[in-house]
């Protein structure tokens, strides 16, 4: 997971946070650093799902001028409201009492601290943010806080001879998440195993606000429409790119910096699927939903059995349409396992329904979609008991590019087809324990 760290002020050199985050950098996190506020911009911040803020209101350690204007504060509020995360540690709460927007975003500010003394940090037992941590005592600046947000979820207190203080809280802002941890003046605090656990939990929690989805075959057609529609609904979209020469995803990425990530993906390649999962894991701690959309047909589909069959093409269709989704599910399961939604979506087709088959040819396409349906059923048998939910979908006849050029005769523009598909993919179903192939009009199809 990539995290943008803002650090370095007169009293808190960046070296402390750098040393304190080193063990986490060796695990799941990649930290990029801003130490001089002049290097900060709203655009740069938008490229990250999460900011770790450990900088009081100085440009840098050597330039004590304040840098946080109301305009900068408004950019932070906007950033979090869009579904990103902000973890504030120790000095990140100092120097902002007179910046109302930023103060309200954190939910409270530093007021003062006595000389360094033994401070006992008491994480609340059983709270999700405190898993793996236990009470500990360290020499630290005991931050005396003004907690403004009465609704903040305080999960940790700090105690010293000077009294008890809120030491850690979370709050929600729009679609995003904010967490405050007040200890951490000395590197010994950061490196304490309990504090490391708190930092790791807080980073993961803050980064998990926005729901995330991977879509295969997102260059054009339905996949592109799904990417546009889910972005509009506030999702973080990882768009599988198969056609780098096709321009639309690039344009979309410029419109949604930080929310649309283009990831190369050829569903016929295990290596490609694994590399894509790794690229996603470098950005976010988990994935909520996977949409297996990529699919192909063939110009030789229409040949009946009285003509020479094109078995090479049938192999290709099978490889993309039936085996492709399996490869992708296999590669992405670890990321989906860590998500709360655990939603697997498959764009199948009416052409895979054996009961209602009317065609006398189209062997490659129909057989590959019927095989896909069988693969989904077996996945369902295994993964439904683990909490996964499934969507199997016929999207209608789409004016897309399956024949190589845009089909202008079909019923639905790709964005219309996406508008039908998205509620089916993201909303709960009444009976998640029954697998069903459902079309864009809500009709269920027999297998
Ligand atoms: N169009 C319909 O009427 C219709 C009806 C029922 C079901 N469906 C299903 O809907 C899904 C989306 O199709 P669509 O109509 O949007 O077609 P589309 O416009 O052709 O979009 C499919 C995308 O997947 C890409 N793709 C092809 N091979 C791939 C691979 N190996 N790895 C990753 N991506 C690959 C395609 O690239 P290329 O263009 O280079 O092949 C294309 O960008 C498919 O599963 C299709 O079977 C479509």
Token code pair at residue 264: 């190369």
Domain stop point among 207, 237, 269: 207
Last residue of a domain, one of 207, 233, 249: 207
Q: Verify that 199 and 216 share a domain, yes or no.
A: no
| Residue with CA nearest ligand 1 atom 32 | 266
199 and 222 assigned to the same domain: no
Q: Flag whether pLDDT at 378 surpasses 90.
A: yes
CB 25 within 8 A of CB 17: no
Examine the domain organization and report whether 340 and 284 are in the same domain: yes
- pLDDT at 195 exceeding the cut of 80: yes
* 343-347 β-sheet, strand order: 260-264, 236-241, 212-215, 289-292, 343-347, 389-394, 437-439, 444-445
- Do 203 and 319 lie in one domain? The reply is no
Q: Same domain for 330 and 426?
A: yes
Whether residues 74 and 7 fall in one domain: yes
What does the pLDDT average to over 370-391? 97
Q: Do the bridges between strand 30-34 and strand 2-7 make them parallel or antiparallel, or are there none, so unpaired? A: parallel
- Work out how many domains the chain is built from and give that number: 2
User: Residues for the chain: how many in total?
Assistant: 447
Any idea which residue has 């943010």 for tokens?
A: 129
Q: How far is the CA of 206 from the centre of ligand 1 (A)?
A: 35
The enclosing domain of 9 has a CATH number of: 3.40.50.880
Per-residue model confidence (pLDDT) at position 27? 84
**Is the predicted pLDDT of residue 430 greater than 90, yes or no?**
no
Choosing from 218, 268, 296, 416 the residue with most ligand 1 atoms within 8 A of its CB, the one to mutate for a pocket test is: 296
- How far is the centre of ligand 1, averaged over its atoms, from the C-alpha of 402 (Å)? 6
Domain boundary, last residue among 207, 230, 249: 207
| Segment (H or E) for 86 | strand 85-89
Instruction: Give the binding-site residues of ligand 1, using a 6 Å CB cut-off.
Output: 216-217, 219-223, 240, 242-243, 265-268, 293-296, 320, 347, 349, 394-395, 397-398, 400-402, 410, 414
With residues binned 3-state (H G I as helix, E B as strand, rest as coil), the percentages for the chain, rounded to 5, are: 35, 25, 40
Mutational pocket test of ligand 1: of 214, 215, 217, the residue with most ligand atoms within 8 Å of the beta carbon: 217
Same domain, 380 and 397: yes
Token pair 């799941």 in the structure block, residue: 28
Q: Per-residue pLDDT for 153 more than 90?
A: yes
Share of the chain above pLDDT 90, in %: 89
Distance 293 CA to ligand 1 centre (A): 7
What's the confidence (pLDDT) of residue 209?
A: 81
pLDDT band at 257 (very low <50, low <70, confident <90, very high): confident
Confidence tier at 82 by pLDDT (50, 70, 90): confident
- 137 pLDDT higher than 80: yes
Q: What is the CATH number of the domain that holds 322?
A: 3.40.50.720
Please, which pLDDT band fits residue 210 given cuts at 50, 70 and 90?
confident
One domain for residues 295 and 233? yes
Q: Tell me, yes or no, whether 126 and 230 share the same domain.
A: no
- The residue segments making up the domain with residue 152 are 2-207
pLDDT, tens only, 282-304:
888 789 999 999 999 999 999 99
203, 309: one domain: no
What is the value of pTM for the model shown? Answer: 0.80
**What kind and span of H or E run contains 391?**
strand 389-394
* pLDDT at 2 (0 to 100): 85
Q: Are residues 372 and 352 in the same domain?
A: yes
Same domain, 36 and 171: yes
pLDDT at position 48: 85
Name the more confident of 429 and 249. Answer: 249
Å from CA of 221 to ligand 1 middle: 7
Q: Do 294 and 401 contact (CB within 8 A), yes or no?
A: no
Question: What's the pLDDT band for 102 if we cut at 50, 70, 90?
Answer: very high
């Amino acid at each position: 997971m990539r995290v943008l760290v803002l650090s370095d002020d007169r009293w808190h050199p960046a070296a402390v946070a750098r040393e304190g985050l080193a063990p986490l950098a060796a695990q799941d996190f990649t930290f990029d650093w801003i130490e001089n506020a002049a290097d900060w911009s709203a655009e740069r911040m938008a490229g990250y799902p999460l900011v770790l803020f450990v900088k009081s209101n100085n440009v840098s350690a050597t330039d004590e001028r304040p840098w946080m204007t109301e305009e900068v504060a408004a950019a932070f509020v906007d950033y979090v409201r869009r579904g990103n995360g902000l973890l504030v540690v120790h000095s990140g709460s100092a120097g902002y009492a007179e910046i109302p927007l930023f103060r309200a975003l954190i939910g409270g500010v530093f007021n003062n601290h006595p000389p360094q003394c033994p401070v006992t940090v008491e994480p609340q037992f059983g709270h999700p943010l405190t898993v793996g941590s236990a009470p500990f005592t360290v020499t630290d600046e005991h931050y005396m806080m003004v907690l403004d947000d009465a609704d903040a979820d305080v999960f940790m207190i700090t105690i010293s001879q000077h009294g008890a203080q809120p030491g850690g809280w979370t709050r929600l802002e729009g679609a995003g998440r904010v967490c405050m941890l007040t200890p951490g003046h000395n590197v010994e605090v950061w490196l304490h195993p309990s504090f490391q656990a708190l930092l790791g939990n807080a980073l993961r929690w803050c980064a998990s606000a926005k729901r995330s989805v991977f879509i295969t075959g997102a260059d054009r057609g339905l996949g592109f429409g799904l990417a546009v529609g889910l972005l509009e609904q506030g999702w973080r979209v990882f768009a599988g790119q198969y056609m780098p020469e096709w321009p639309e995803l690039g344009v979309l990425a410029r419109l949604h910096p930080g929310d649309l990530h283009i990831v190369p993906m050829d569903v016929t390649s295990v290596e490609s699927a694994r590399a894509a999962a790794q690229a996603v894991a470098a950005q976010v701690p988990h994935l909520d939903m996977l949409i297996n959309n990529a699919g192909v047909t063939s110009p030789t589909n229409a040949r009946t059995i009285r003509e020479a069959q094109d078995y090479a093409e049938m192999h290709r269709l099978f490889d993309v349409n039936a085996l492709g989704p399996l490869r992708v599910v296999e590669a992405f399961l670890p990321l989906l396992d860590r998500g709360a939604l655990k939603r697997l979506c498959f764009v199948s087709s009416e052409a895979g329904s054996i009961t209602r088959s009317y065609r006398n040819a189209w062997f490659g396409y129909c057989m590959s979609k019927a095989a896909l349906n069988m693969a989904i059923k077996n996945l369902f048998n295994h993964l439904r008991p683990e909490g996964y939910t499934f969507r199997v979908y016929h999207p209608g006849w789409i004016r897309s590019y399956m024949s190589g050029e845009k089909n202008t005769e079909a019923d639905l523009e790709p964005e219309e087809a996406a508008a039908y598909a998205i509620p089916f993919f993201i909303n709960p179903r009444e009976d998640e324990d029954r697998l069903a192939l459902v079309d864009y009009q809500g009709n269920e199809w027999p297998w």
